[in-house]
């Protein structure tokens, strides 16, 4: 059985509230789970201690049993000190979009043309 530690959504529309659960990876996101490990309330400020509450002993137990945390849970575990930080690399995130690249190319062409004109006048 492929175990996962993940978020199960609760709360009403536009007012999310999540439970941190240990579940079988084949079950639906909000479906059956094995154990509730904590809560996550994204509406609270980031510095609030009530934003993420988890039972660290049980989380560590499930990690020792081979449960795989999702990306968001892995970040929470890193913040809690239960997991070592992993290096993330997304080289495409910082690159501008198509239109911005086209605008930059146009601006570079105009600057090159302007510098060529001033060089031709001397």
Domains of the chain: 3-80 (3.30.1320.10)
Q: pTM of the prediction? A: 0.70
Torsion of CA 42, 48, 50, 54, to 10 degrees: 80
The answer to whether 22 touches 4, Cβ cutoff 8 Å, is yes
pLDDT of 22 higher than 80 = yes
**Residue with more model confidence, 87 or 16:** 16
Cα dist. 49→10, 11, 42, 43, 46 in Å?
A: 20, 19, 12, 12, 8
Per the prediction, the chain carries an average pLDDT of 89
Confidence of residue 89 (pLDDT cuts 50, 70, 90): confident
The 10s digit of each residue's pLDDT in 58-87 is 999 999 999 999 999 999 999 888 888 888
Cα dist. 81→47, 52, 75 in Å?
A: 16, 13, 10
* Segment (H or E) for 2: none
Two structure tokens written together for 92: 């495409």
Taking the alpha carbons of 43, 26, 65, 22 in that order, is the dihedral positive or negative?
A: positive
Two structure tokens written together for 38: 């904590």
Quickly count: other Cβ atoms within 10 Å of residue 45's Cβ. 7
DSSP annotation of 81 reads T
Q: What is the pLDDT of residue 90?
A: 76
Closest CA to 7 of 76, 87, 81: 76
Q: What is the pLDDT of residue 91?
A: 75
pLDDT of 9 higher than 90 = yes
Q: What is the pLDDT of residue 43?
A: 94
């Amino acid at each position: 059985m492929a175990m996962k530690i993940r978020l199960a959504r609760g709360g009403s529309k536009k007012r999310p509230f999540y439970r941190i659960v240990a579940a079988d990876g084949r079950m639906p996101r909000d479906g059956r789970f094995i154990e509730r490990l904590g809560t996550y309330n994204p509406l609270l400020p980031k510095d609030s201690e009530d934003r993420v509450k988890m039972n660290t002993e049980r989380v560590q137990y499930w990690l020792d049993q081979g449960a795989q945390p999702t990306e968001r849970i892995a970040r929470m575990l890193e913040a809690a000190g239960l997991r070592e930080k992993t290096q993330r690399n997304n080289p495409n995130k910082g690159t501008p979009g198509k239109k911005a690249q086209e605008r930059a190319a146009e601006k570079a062409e105009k600057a090159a043309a302007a510098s060529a004109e001033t060089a031709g006048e001397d």
